[in-house]
Amino acid sequence: MTAVTPVSPIPVAPAGLTDRARRFVEVEGVRVPRQGLGQHRETWIEHGVPAVEIDRAAAFQDRWGGLVLPPAPFYEGGPRILGSDRPEGSAAEGWLFPAGSCRVSMAYGFMIGSGGAFGIDAYHWTPLHASTDGWVESLALAAHAGRCAKTVTRIKGKAVESLNLAGFEQVPEVQGVTDTWWRGKDSLIALYRGEAVGLDAPRCLEAHVYGGLDEWGLHGG
């Protein structure tokens, strides 16, 4: 009988993340066993899934599969465990594959789009960040800002549109598409537009304002 090599519960952060996100993954994350996708390859191809889409899902699994991170501050916490599965879609509509199962019952799922974007699939596909790296960077920044801020203010619905972002700069590492982060002189603002767009529900628009931050609080690595 072949011995099974145990999986270390301590994750090693993938290359390319900021120091802040690397610390977040390695200190606050946990790695659990992940399923391999190789045994499904031929069956999926027989059912019309292009080989290139299976390769994309396998690459995601190699980089992120089995990673458990603390709950996100929005989207009911985000995926419970990052992990891919069978791609779905068509050449005309584009292909998506799962990014991980939901923590609670949701009206949408977390998916990876044709260009690698991380997003939600509700009434229609809505990319949140240009990559899963961006999603993880946003989680790390939220955790860091939440620890350092003197105040955290949640703004919902139409009131979000009245936020004045003059003097703020967009935080590039989160690779924001529908969701974005903004850095001011002493505060950070996270704009969560995904549910409002994906569910056609403006009331779901939400912003989190982290105030009273010093230089370390604004950047954190």
Confidence of residue 2 (pLDDT cuts 50, 70, 90): very low
Q: Which phi and psi (to 5°) does residue 126 adopt?
A: -130, 105
Length in residues, the chain:
221
Q: Write down the pLDDT at residue 61.
A: 95
Number of domains in the chain: 2
Partnered with residue 187 across adjacent β-strands are 211
Contact 184, 168 (CB under 8 A): yes
178, 197 Cβ separation under 8 angstroms: yes
Residues 149 and 113 in one domain: no
Segment 159-172 mean pLDDT: 96
160 or 4, greater pLDDT = 160
Q: What pLDDT, on a 0 to 100 scale, did the predictor assign at position 4?
A: 40
Answer yes or no: are the C-beta atoms of 97 and 217 closer than 8 Å. no
**Other C-beta atoms lying within 10 Å of the C-beta of residue 123:** 12
CA pair distance 192, 207, nearest whole angstrom: 6
Same domain flag for 27 and 124: yes
Taking only the tens place, the pLDDT of each residue in 6-44 is: 667 889 999 999 999 999 999 999 999 988 888 999 999
**Does any domain span residue 91?**
yes
Does the pTM surpass 0.85? The reply is yes
Q: Are residues 118 and 199 in the same domain?
A: no
Q: Clarify whether residues 97 and 156 are in a common domain.
A: no
Q: What is the pLDDT of residues 141-152, one digit of tens each?
A: 999 999 999 999
pLDDT of residue 5 exceeding 70? no
Measured distance CA(124)–CA(143) in Å, rounded: 29
Q: Rounded to an integer, what distance in angstroms lies between the CA atom of residue 175 and that of residue 119? A: 12
Mean pLDDT rounded to a whole number for the chain: 94
Token output for 108: 């949408």
Q: To the nearest whole percent, how much of the chain has pLDDT over 70?
A: 97
pLDDT digit string (tens) for 53-103?
999 999 999 999 999 999 999 999 999 999 999 999 998 889 999 999 999
